[in-house]
A and B are shown apart, each in its own frame.
Chain A
Amino acid sequence: MNSQKIFFVFLLTLGLSFQAGGDLWAAKKIKIVATTNVLGDIASQIASDHAEIYSVCSPKRDVHFYAPTPRDVVKVKKADVLVHAGLDLEAWRGPMLDAAGRTDLMWPSGARQIDVSQNVPLLEVPTSLSRDQGDIHVYGNPHYWPDPENGKIIARNIADGLSRLYPEDAAAFEKNYTAFASKLDESMKTWLKILEPYKGRNVVSYHKSLIYFTKRFGLLDDGELEPKPGIPPTAKHLAELENIMRRDNVRIILKEIFYENRTPEKVAKDTGASVVTFAQAIGDVEEAKDYISMIDYDARAVAEGFKRAADKP
């Protein structure tokens, strides 16, 4: 038998294995794939032991620029439900779904996808679209999950979506939602108290990704290290920003873990501000073990940042 024949026999065997392999996936639990681990955590709170969760974007990575791996594609291919942030947060979601070939998970019409941005009151919805404004988002700022009130909306959407797909478990999802929302409400009182002394204070961030958090807790955004969204900092812009920070007595710079440290530290040194690492994903910092502990870390880190800056000369 020559090599070509061996090759075609191999292909035939391979083809047959796909049919045989189908029985291996007899699912007992709902297989949920979430595009980020924050959504994965909230989905696990709602679905509890009814589901097994796989989160695509790893912690400490910029969710805008994540490159899905072959493992992600396999997980999506086998998923019962896709939970995603909607809007245009995950630019890689389309190619990932194309690779997985699951039309029922595709946005916006796929029946087995849950878009958790539904009902979120969006900020910064653009009135015109041009890349001369940088990497702006078509539908509005998609970094809405650091606001705990939006966390509740996300949970509500997941509970509703799962109830639609699995009505037999709807009561359990509703009960889990209520418990999660109560926990969030309870924690919210603590976070409001922690940040109450800093209401009305100005902050600067690296990327325009924290506005939902700052708005919720009464902090004022005074600018970003990026001159425009997605455009790396320039010397000219930083000089202007430092003047604004001095004028407005900005005492903290918020940055996500995946941004470089050098620029924020230099600006902090020049202006007497303090740099605070802000967690946007579970696992970005050790303390962020789930959604609630992530927000808890962020609230305490911001408060600590203000205190640290106050101690500076």
Chain B
Amino acid sequence: MGQDIAQEIAGLKRMIAVLDSNVEVLKSTVRAQNEIIERQNSRIAVFEVRQSAVSVPPPVISPKANAGFNPDIGVAGTVQSKITQNKSDTEGNNSIALKEFELTFGQAVDPYSRFDATISFNDHMEEHVVHLEEAYYTRWGLPFGFTGQVGKFRAAIGKQNLLHAHQLPTADYPLVIQNFFGEEGLSSSGLRLKNNIPNPWDLPIEVTGEILRGNHDESFADVSRRPIFNTHIKTFFEPSADTNLELGWTTMFGTVNPPLTIDDGSGTTTEWIRPEGTDWYGVKVYGADATFNWFLPEGKQVTWQNEIYFQNRPELVNSINGQPWGFYSLVEYKLSRRFCPGVRFDYVNPLDVSGRHGTTSVSPYLIFWQSEYADVKLQYSHTVYAGGEKTDNAAYVVVDFLAGNHKHAIQ
């Protein structure tokens, strides 16, 4: 009996041993399976990361996706307050006005081209005005690497004529630009071709040629008689790692009005007679521009910008000055991300004043950037008008704000 029990116990022990070994085998199988699962999980995790990264950019809200094929839209507002000593009761003196509210659009048209447009609303002068400031179509990749633009655009005259009001460092355009090309500068319909002149030294020599509609009555005809031809050529140097210098030259040819018959109201008429041929591109404008930048530590920057223009106009129809000229010189020091003081000196021997008299003006200013998208400009201008009989002291406060997509061409 006792022997049977002992044998049974021994049998059970053997069975337990077998079961133990089976459990061990199963355990090692489970461990191996777990390792495989872990490896698979790791691979899945890697694939998931890659998968999510492959779809970069993966914004939860994609403005592009929402916008579909609609153009990018942006706005830029400029509100200007002005106090002046000028006693004349003129719109714009001692005023606060929305000088400009720009609505900008831009989008690729097809793989070769895009369009850009700026529609400007203003409450500045007598009327509420909607003004098509720019609307042009750009075609890249023309033969020999030319870029072509057609439509209405700001003419490539020097540096500041290309800028919109909110891009200006000052409250207004330099006097020479105002006098020669209008208060807001020259923007005109036309055709523009642009390219760089190849050279073995990689020296940037950019040439812009423009054929502009001729209806610009500051320096040229006030009716669209013949187009204005404009070219701007510029080059660029880097004297050191922290400085650069850009030099440009502008040449314009344009036409003034056809012969005029003036009736003084008493029945007497006077006809302006010019020498034969002098109304055929009789207005020539030449200009030079130079901009020097000096980049200092901590994001500081000094900029010195100058433009000078000279006109040769045998015609004295819409001016009485045969050789008006003028220039400005502007120096500014961006001393932090918030503040940039500067000063602009203007001289212009204007279209409507003959002789050696010129208007001079000194305009110190301060720009305060609240952020990249909003700034305030303070400016004081002391102006002595041509002839020295009148002086004016004016103070400006300008508020600029931007929103939406806003893209400016490289100047």
A residues with a Cβ closer than 8 A to B are: 3-4, 7, 11, 14-15, 17-19, 21-22, 24-25, 58, 60-62, 65, 67-71, 73-75, 77-78, 86-87, 92, 94-96, 98-99, 101-103, 109, 117-122, 125-129, 131, 134-135, 138-140, 230-232, 257-261
Contacts and interface: CB of A to CB of B under 8 A. Distances in A.
Interface stretch (B55-63, B89-97, B266-274): B55-63
Nearest to B139: A101
B409 to A, nearest CB: 6
A61 B202 CA distance: 23
Interface string B68-101: 0000000000000000000000000000000000
A126 to B, nearest CB: 7
> Top 3 closest A-B pairs, CB basis?
A21-B198, A139-B57, A70-B204
A103 B236 CA distance: 24
Given A135-B371, A230-B371, A121 B52 contact: yes
Q: Which residue among B56, B200, B251 has the maximum number of chain A CB atoms within 10 Å of its CB? A: B56
A102 B244 CA distance: 25
Overall SS of chain A's interface: loop
Interface of B: 49-50, 52-54, 56-63, 111-112, 114, 138, 140-141, 144-147, 195-200, 202, 204, 206-207, 209, 229, 231, 234-236, 238, 241, 244, 246, 251, 253, 281, 284, 295, 297-299, 336-338, 369, 371-373, 403, 407-410
A193 to B, nearest CB: 25
Nearest to A256: B299
Contacts of A261: 298
Given A18-B195, A118-B56, 7 more contacts: A60-B295, A74-B204, A75-B202, A98-B410, A121-B49, A122-B57, A260-B336
Contact of A101 (B147, B234, B241): B147
Nearest to A258: B299
A196 B139 CA distance: 55
Contacts, number: 162
B143 to A, nearest CB: 9
A70 B112 contact: no
A9 to B, nearest CB: 13
Given A74-B202, A103-B112, A232-B337, A67 B410 contact: yes
Contact of B57 (A3, A87, A95): A87
Contacts of B206: 70, 73
Contact of A62 (B140, B299, B408): B299
A18 B198 contact: yes
Contact of A7 (B59, B253, B410): B253
Contact of B60 (A103, A127, A231, A258): A127
A138 B57 contact: yes
A22 B198 contact: yes
Given A25-B198, A134-B371, A77 B145 contact: yes
